[in-house]
Structure 1
């Protein structure tokens, strides 16, 4: 017979051994993941180089499809069921969709995009190495590097024997930089994937700092202000019959926007152009126009176009309401109409779920020796496809792609190839722990 004290020590020892054995098993799996990433990193960098040298400006449909086919082959070899969708109905190339269905853990959506801002007429068409690790090239960071990090993480999980148990859907859109229309069709396949997912992971490059992750992004929508007044000889301005004219009323409205909304945290509203006078000829594409007027004639018309960026749906609606109230309180003998576009990108709202997922990511990063990771200031993160998941998934973070460069959307776009392996290791270990409830 053993005493109660001896029994307690025995029970404690059994639990401790189980814990140590379980921890060792987890550690072995994670070491296998790390080793596999290291084994495949060189070929991953070659894949980045190959994809960067394929022009895939949004409107170069064949180029976008060619990049999609390149990544599709890699995912096919990993056992994903893949399809390149047809984007004809929304005027774009289409998307790459890849799925694997497992029996464990949450359903994961991984997000990339195939297109870049560099069209066929750009002078920026091929990569070059600035040193042994910094690559300069069209789309290297935004976001062909991020697409390859997704594939590298999948290769590592496959090599470690872990991919089969995971439910993962990868969507690489073909029109992130210049969305097709109507937006409801352009983003339908992507939103449907978000509805099937529990967690969304975006592989844009965030603010080009590997020590930060995006937990919220500001949405973007366009607005148009049209103002009319009474045209008359300038000597009659401010009279009861003539009023103040369209330009004065427009100035009042824009100034009131600034006074009432400029101090709202993370909110911006920018009038991109204004034309005003006696007669107007606006461009059909909404990029400007021509105005005719004379110094001795009270202005009759103005048009202003701009954008509005907010960090949450609540902030967006509040700003729209404030702007409409300002527009409705007109100067004498003027009328004003403010309209907002039906499209645009929604905000990726900062939620407790997103912050929890950031915490998991931070834990993995520190455990692997890469240091702590904090949230990006949303002012430093523009609109992106992941924002369309905000209403459907429990957790979402972005900025997991190739980083450390800068110059996005310019002929100086760069990326630090040293971050390829780092980001892939964090991604793969994060997925392993999420699927196996290791947090």
Structure 2
């Protein structure tokens, strides 16, 4: 375990009382509960602003809404624009400087997958749940950050603390180059000791809220295959070979049979083949032409690769390349790989932060928080900073149907997560 993680765990756990919360912590919980309606109203306002990644005006509007909240809590706020060529709105950054306790980085995002031309799903309450665009992914998590900080502010617990908040405007579709679009986030991490990210909470098989100490990387691969064009009656012969489509099928099935291991996935998402075939620069659309009586001359496959560590990535790459190299007669093929989001590998330091969070939850009467199996989460912004400092994710709201028109949120999860977060922040900054 890192020395910092040991210190964080010892100090934070030491601040907990055997009978639960301290007097100040009980005041913090009371403030969270008293202002729960304000938090829900703020979430409704945010959800009713369309902020699809490419709706730059909408992303900025949500940023303005949340920025005003941070300013009221004594944070210095600014908007970080991206270069026009990147076609991204930019990020909201809020900060306050102090010398007390650990320096914290809180991570959220303003954008959703629902662009302006998506089926409109405005805020709709149904009993103890609400629906809306991005309600749990992740405007609910953004509100939890704000409301936890508000509770601390009202009891004077933000004084002399060092907290940075980065709400990115393109988490759902990160701008290129990544080195530019995530520069603000990485810079904030270098000035912090611990990162906390508020993507939606996920429950385990026992129905318990969890914490995320690992997330799999997001990367892609492209397979290009060539064969000998000729009359279909000659296929399988020494002179004609097997054609590009059979070779592509062999390779993909070889991946399925030989590369699988825990926490690793590789999915072919687009395949085109024929006399002439190929995909666009983004690997999101393809075109093909050919005839049933002509052996396919070319094939292209675009795929996704998710892994938990660079060692796992390297094993997968080696196995996939070896399979590609075993060509059927009359064919050739090559595979290339492209990394995007780095992995967030579980570490002792991140587990220590989770233990502090879990203890805060238990002391508040909300139960222990186990670690979510890392293979159950995809990519998120926290992964760009996890190699730099101890990190914990999944501190957000609880809901269903993220990225779908049926996305919803359990209203009670906002208060529950806000209480846990506020106590965690208080203990880490003492």
- TM-score normalized with structure 2 length: 0.91
Residue number in structure 1 paired with 2:383: 387
1:190 aligned counterpart, secondary structure: helix
Unaligned runs of 5+ in 1: 1-18
1:316-366, CA deviations, whole angstroms, 9 ceiling, x for partnerless residues? 222112111221222223221111124x21111111111111111111111
CA contact (8 A) 2:216 2:306 kept: yes
CA distance in 1, matches of 2:284, 2:167: 29
Tell me: higher relative CO, structure 1 or 2? Use CA pairs within 8 A at least 6 residues apart: 2
Q: 1:274 aligns with which of 252, 264, 271?
A: 271
Residue number in structure 1 paired with 2:146: 151
CA distance in 2, matches of 1:315, 1:166: 39
The answer to whether structure 1 residue 168 and structure 2 residue 163 are counterparts is yes
Q: 1:21 deviation in Å?
A: 13
2:406 aligned counterpart, secondary structure: coil
Q: 1:253 deviation in Å?
A: 1.0
Q: 2:404 aligns with which of 399, 410, 414?
A: 410
The answer to whether structure 1 residue 435 and structure 2 residue 429 are counterparts is yes
Q: 1:101 aligns with which of 97, 108, 130?
A: 97
> Between Structure 1 and Structure 2, whose CA radius of gyration is higher?
1
1:405-433, CA deviations, whole angstroms, 9 ceiling, x for partnerless residues? 20111111111111112111111111121
Aligned runs of 1:35-434 on 2, under 5 Å?
35-89=30-84, 90-131=86-127, 133-207=128-202, 211-262=209-260, 264-342=261-339, 344-393=340-389, 395-403=390-398, 405-434=399-428
Q: 1:143 deviation in Å?
A: 0.8
1:259 aligned counterpart, secondary structure: helix
Pair 1:134–1:243, CA change in 2 (3 A): same
1:258 aligned counterpart, secondary structure: helix
CA contact (8 A) 2:20 2:364 kept: no
Q: 1:284 deviation in Å?
A: 4.5
CA distance in 2, matches of 1:413, 1:357: 29
Q: 1:195 deviation in Å?
A: 2.1
CA contact (8 A) 1:92 1:174 kept: yes
CA distance in 1, matches of 2:328, 2:257: 17
1:72 aligned counterpart, secondary structure: helix
CA distance in 2, matches of 1:252, 1:20: 59
CA distance in 1, matches of 2:240, 2:19: 84
CA contact (8 A) 1:312 1:350 kept: no
2:341 aligned counterpart, secondary structure: coil
Unaligned runs of 5+ in 2: 1-13
1:105 aligned counterpart, secondary structure: strand
Residue number in structure 2 paired with 1:9: none
**Which stretch has the larger CA shift, 288-297 or 107-116?**
288-297
CA contact (8 A) 2:201 2:209 kept: no
CA distance in 1, matches of 2:22, 2:306: 44
CA contact (8 A) 2:16 2:22 kept: no
Pair 1:241–1:20, CA change in 2 (3 A): closer
CA distance in 1, matches of 2:258, 2:239: 30
- TM-score normalized with structure 1 length: 0.90
